[in-house]
Amino acid sequence: MSEIRDIFYNLFWQSKVCRNVFLLPKEELLDTQKLELDPELKVSVSFPRIIISNVTKDDEAYNTLKIRTESDKIRKQNNLQAKVDKYQPLITNFFESKFGKSLKKLTDELDADPSKLIKFLGKFLIAGQKKKEVLILEQLKHYGFIGHHIESLSNLGANSEQTMRRILKDALTEENLWNIHEFAKSVKDLYAKSNFESYYSSNQILVNSLFSEDDFQSRIALFNKLFDVGVIAPSNEDAFVECVSCPSGTYHGSLQLKLSPNKLANLVCPVCSNKVNYYVPYHLNDLIYKIINSNDGLLLDALVHRLQQKKIPYKLNQTFLNDIEIDCWFDFNGSSYIVEVKMFKQNTTREKLEEKINEAYLKLLEDVMRILNDKPDISVFPILLVNIPDQKYLDSIRNRFQNETISEYALSRGRISCIEEIKFVK
């Protein structure tokens, strides 16, 4: 077993706050961006980072930051477009003056005889290396792209280099250099604004989840412990800070921060001395990220870790009757346990969540009944293991569950459990 995995689970089993946070599905735990490539192709990508922020989407500060960023982005885009609009005609006129006649001659000849290009390509493809060079030079001279004094492609390269030097010398005026600087700054600022947008638009794990009883301070304390033991580490990506107490643009920017999470509270505005709002990314350990990003998330791995600790033999992804796959099967005290693991999104209504749980529970009981029909001599307890940290709520769902197709045997043995309620872990 991995050392960092054991270190993480040592904290996980001791801290309810840690369980509340890390049993969120990856779309709610990690910084997840949704990419829409087209209306029918949408992709979600979860990055190996956790963004710690003192802003929630219910805060007035969030709305202030959002409006400020959007407004500034519009200004930067307009400034960038103004630079493009200014220099585009100059570039177009330059190419027109240098190559306009040549391009017109080429276009006119191809319009008159389109097969001319095909004939040239045919000759070019079957020609030897030296002949290819001759054919290219002939065509460039024919259309006037180069002078007749050019005798080889190496001469062409040297001639082109000298031409470019003359062009650059003429173009690099004081005004143009300043405009190039402003253009580069606008591109950089737009990139920074887009990054900032992706941070405040993303899911923020410090926002209380549906069943969470912990608060901002308890989660900051958790992240500080995770930082101390190496589960999260400073990121090479920029953090974003801004003072919403000051006028827009007074104190804001992107910077590198390598601070433990509990020191983020010390960030203050040098202008007004008020605490600043921040979005600080932390890199999640690669192994822990891989576990969270797996199909069954951290919940199945947490179960496996506990089984390993207790030295209870288990099997994963067992297949029965060709179409039933069991996430985890283990034997304990003379009985067999079939565990189906489900990670549910918690940022939803209880009604929708209960509907999803009932659906998963029904499927598990139906699968178990089919297995028992095939193997009537085994004693099985089916468990739907979910990431909801409220066992009373789960018991109430089980007690209300009704389906006339499910046998009393399966109903009496079935359980819907959170990770703490698996009996053998106690």
Cα 403 versus chain centre, distance: 40
Task: Note the pLDDT tens digit of each residue in 26-66.
Answer: 888 887 777 666 666 677 788 888 888 888 777 788 788 88
Q: Rounded to whole angstroms, how far apart are CA atoms 138 and 135? A: 5
Q: Rounded to whole angstroms, how far apart are CA atoms 6 and 328? A: 20
Residue 200 has pLDDT above 80, yes or no: no
Q: How far is CA 243 from CA 13, 74, 189, 201, in A?
A: 38, 20, 18, 18
Paired tokens of 372: 């028992």
Q: Which domains does the chain have, with CATH numbers?
A: 3-56+204-285 (no CATH), 74-180 (no CATH), 294-425 (3.40.1350)
Band of the pLDDT at 202, cuts 50, 70, 90?
A: low
Q: Rounded to whole angstroms, how far apart are CA atoms 250 and 244? A: 9
Taking every pair of Cα atoms in the chain, the longest distance, rounded to a whole number of angstroms, is 97
pLDDT, residue 335, reads 84
pLDDT, residue 61, reads 83
pLDDT, residue 63, reads 83
Mean of the pLDDT values across residues 201-219? Answer: 60
Residue 210 has pLDDT above 50, yes or no: no
β-strand partners of 383 = 339, 415
Q: Rounded to whole angstroms, how far apart are CA atoms 301 and 303? A: 5
Mean of the pLDDT values across residues 229-244? Answer: 91
Q: Rounded to whole angstroms, how far apart are CA atoms 158 and 143? A: 20
Task: Note the pLDDT tens digit of each residue in 393-425.
Answer: 999 999 898 887 888 878 888 999 999 887 664
**Interstrand relation of 335-342 and 380-386 (parallel, antiparallel or unpaired):** parallel
Band of the pLDDT at 203, cuts 50, 70, 90?
A: low
Q: Rounded to whole angstroms, how far apart are CA atoms 153 and 129? A: 12
Mean of the pLDDT values across residues 203-208? Answer: 48
**SS3 sequence of 287-352:** HHHHHHCCCCHHHHHHHHHHHHHCCCCEEEEEEECCCEEEEEEEEECCEEEEEEEECCCCCCCHHH
Residue 426 has pLDDT above 60, yes or no: no
Band of the pLDDT at 323, cuts 50, 70, 90?
A: confident
Q: Which position has the token pair 């209300």?
A: 400
Residue 263 has pLDDT above 90, yes or no: yes
Q: Rounded to whole angstroms, how far apart are CA atoms 111 and 316? A: 68
Stretch among 61-70, 224-233, 285-294, 376-385 having the lowest mean pLDDT: 61-70
CB 241 within 8 A of CB 55: no
Is the whole model's pTM more than 0.85, yes or no? Answer: no
Task: Note the pLDDT tens digit of each residue in 88-129.
Answer: 665 565 555 555 666 666 677 667 776 666 666 666 666 677
**SS3 sequence of the chain:** CCHHHHHHHHHHHHCHHHHHHHCCCHHHHCCEEEEEEECCEEEEEECCEEEEECCCCCCHHHHHHHHHHHHHHHHHHHHHHHHHHHHHHHHHHHHHHHHHHHHHHHHHHHHHCCHHHHHHHHHHHHCCHHHHHHHHHHHHHHCCCCCCCCCCHHHHHHHHHHHHHHHHHHHCCHHHHHHHHHHHHHHHHHHHHHHHHHHHHCCCCCCCCCCCCCCHHHHHHHHHHHHHHCCEEECCCCEEEECCCCCCCCCEEEECCCCCHHHHHHCECCCCCCECEEEEEEEECHHHHHHHCCCCHHHHHHHHHHHHHCCCCEEEEEEECCCEEEEEEEEECCEEEEEEEECCCCCCCHHHHHHHHHHHHHHHHHHHHHHHHHCCCCCEEEEEEECCCCHHHHHHHHHHCCCCCCCHHHHHHCEEECHHHCHHHC
Pick the more confident residue, 109 or 294.
294
Write phi, then psi, for 333 (nearest 5 degrees).
50, 45
**CA-based torsion, 358, 360, 363, 365: positive or negative:** negative
Paired tokens of 76: 């930067």
270: exposed, middle or buried (C-beta count within 10 Å: 0-12, 13-18, 19+)?
A: exposed
pLDDT, residue 207, reads 43
pLDDT, residue 339, reads 95
Q: Rounded to whole angstroms, how far apart are CA atoms 195 and 85? A: 26
Task: Note the pLDDT tens digit of each residue in 7-23.
Answer: 999 999 999 989 988 99
Residue 162 has pLDDT above 60, yes or no: no
Residue 143 has pLDDT above 80, yes or no: no
Mean of the pLDDT values across residues 259-279? Answer: 92
pLDDT, residue 365, reads 93
pLDDT, residue 347, reads 78
pLDDT, residue 120, reads 64
β-strand partners of 234 = 282
Highest mean pLDDT among 46-55, 69-78, 197-206: 46-55
Q: Rounded to whole angstroms, how far apart are CA atoms 308 and 287? A: 18
Mean of the pLDDT values across residues 261-265? Answer: 91
Paired tokens of 414: 């079935």
pLDDT, residue 406, reads 84
pLDDT, residue 208, reads 42
**Interstrand relation of 314-320 and 324-332 (parallel, antiparallel or unpaired):** antiparallel
pLDDT, residue 32, reads 79
pLDDT, residue 231, reads 96
